[in-house]
Amino acid sequence: MTQPAEDDRAAADLLRLTCEEAIHFLAGLSDRPVNNDSAPPARIALPARGVGFRAALASFRDIYGSSLTGSVGPRYFGFVTGGTTIAALAGDWLTSTFDQNAADLTSRAAAHIEASAVAMLRELLRLPDTFSGRFVTGATTSNMVGLAIARQWWGRQLGVDVSERGAHGLPALTVLSGSPHSCIYKALSILGVGRAALRRVATERGRESVDVAALRDALAARGGQPCVVVANAGVVNTADFDDIAAIAALQSQFPFFLHVDAAFGGFAACSPTCRPLLEGWEQADSIAIDAHKWLNVPYDSAIQLTRHPTLQAEVFQNVGAAYLGAPNTDDALHLTPENSRRLRALPAWMTLIAYGEAGHRAIVESSCQCASLLGERIADSSVFRLLAPVRMNIVVFTLSSPDPTADDVASFLTRLRDSGQTYLTQTTYGSVQAIRAAFSNWRTTPQDVERAWRAMLESVR
């Protein structure tokens, strides 16, 4: 039987061993299959007596070592999957090592690191410091927090503090959006607003960006009732962007809270060519941005930004009742869904200090170049058909056969995954069964795109 104290006496050796395990994983990353369908092993029963960490690590390697996928590697183009820079990875290790409770007000360092990482991100993304920001676990939670602030704003417009008395008796809250991410529905469900509150507004012809004239009509039809608009800055399918400046301009005529889902699209701000896509986003009331995608920090990490910290504190303040005091807008404890939380900002702080603005701009630009390289290969080929112009970091295309079925696409993707070389996701574009490739990993090079392309050609029947 091993007790924690015994392992602690061997801590230096055991942690070096762990480090070697990590180095070994990273060294083999480029050749690790992107996909692994092998059945999970039978569950191990809780040992009555522990075996100690050295043996636990060996068991882990035996059981799971070969089934970990190379999703953090350079040819995983599914969903929008970020990589991990070395500085971010090391920052994450240290977050666990220090194990600070970032909600603990006796540790000012944690709050300072978070504020400093948020300030650097604002600079990187060229947002004014009228936005306050907090780290949360992902864009889903970040969108949920933004919509919780929106709900509080909406209640205030109707003369009700929803954080105190709930939304009982109020008219239904309406949320308007062109191409919302699925997590917006989830957030509305969690918040008790309900999925049905989301009204899809028409998109521009052949695009996923909202038709601003249709949005204007939908707002006008509300007869002055306040509502929420979710603008999309980077739709996952085609990286299309709403015209945020035009949407924000509507706020002078209609009362609505503008939330921007910029999970990956916010990083367009890093690149002078892509930056205009975000024009007007500084007028948003709240913004969701993922860090575990294009910032290349490990899961799970995102930032929630808002210009309404008081409304945010009304929702999240950790006191029995509001009359106990004015809401505290300084401490994360009163601003995020969690109370105790990890020092999630440290990986972001490390990577921003280590590589700076130029380093992170280079990651964004190289992702875009890899996307356009794949787009060119597809446009020039006779076996695939590009479905939309390559926007930023996403390529959406299909098989060149006249009307590929979902099964055709699925079986191509299965063959491709089984090659272990690259992972792409299935989607639909309009009514067409489609495939998409998204680039957001710093490790991906043009050589990786060529290697993925060869595998794609070999997987076509």
Ligand X SMILES: *Cc1c(COP(=O)(O)O)cnc(C)c1O
| Binding region for ligand X (CB under 6 A) | 80, 138-140, 181, 183, 234, 236, 261, 263-264, 290, 302
Minimal distance in Å, beta carbon 165 to ligand X? 30
Residues in the chain: 461
Minimal distance in Å, beta carbon 16 to ligand X? 33
What are the strands of the beta sheet with 175-177, ordered from one edge? 132-136, 302-306, 286-290, 256-261, 227-232, 175-177, 198-200
Q: For ligand X, which is the closer residue by CB, 100 or 137? A: 137
Q: For ligand X, which is the closer residue by CB, 237 or 444? A: 237
Minimal distance in Å, beta carbon 185 to ligand X? 11
Task: Give the Cα separation of 124 and 132 in Å (integer).
Answer: 15
Task: Give the Cα separation of 310 and 324 in Å (integer).
Answer: 15
Minimal distance in Å, beta carbon 457 to ligand X? 28
Q: For ligand X, which is the closer residue by CB, 114 or 261? A: 261
What is the DSSP pairing of strand 425-429 with strand 394-399?
unpaired
Task: Give the Cα separation of 215 and 219 in Å (integer).
Answer: 6
Residue 437 C-alpha from the chain's centroid = 16
Minimal distance in Å, beta carbon 182 to ligand X? 8
Q: For ligand X, which is the closer residue by CB, 258 or 263? A: 263
Q: For ligand X, which is the closer residue by CB, 53 or 241? A: 241
Q: For ligand X, which is the closer residue by CB, 236 or 332? A: 236
Residue 89 C-alpha from the chain's centroid = 17
Specify whether the CB–CB gap between 424 and 416 falls below 8 A. yes
Minimal distance in Å, beta carbon 154 to ligand X? 21
Minimal distance in Å, beta carbon 96 to ligand X? 20
Q: For ligand X, which is the closer residue by CB, 131 or 264? A: 264
- C-alpha count within 13 angstroms, C-beta hemisphere, residue 351: 27
Task: Give the Cα separation of 354 and 88 in Å (integer).
Answer: 9
- Nearest to 194, CA basis, from 208, 180, 184: 184
Task: Give the Cα separation of 253 and 222 in Å (integer).
Answer: 12
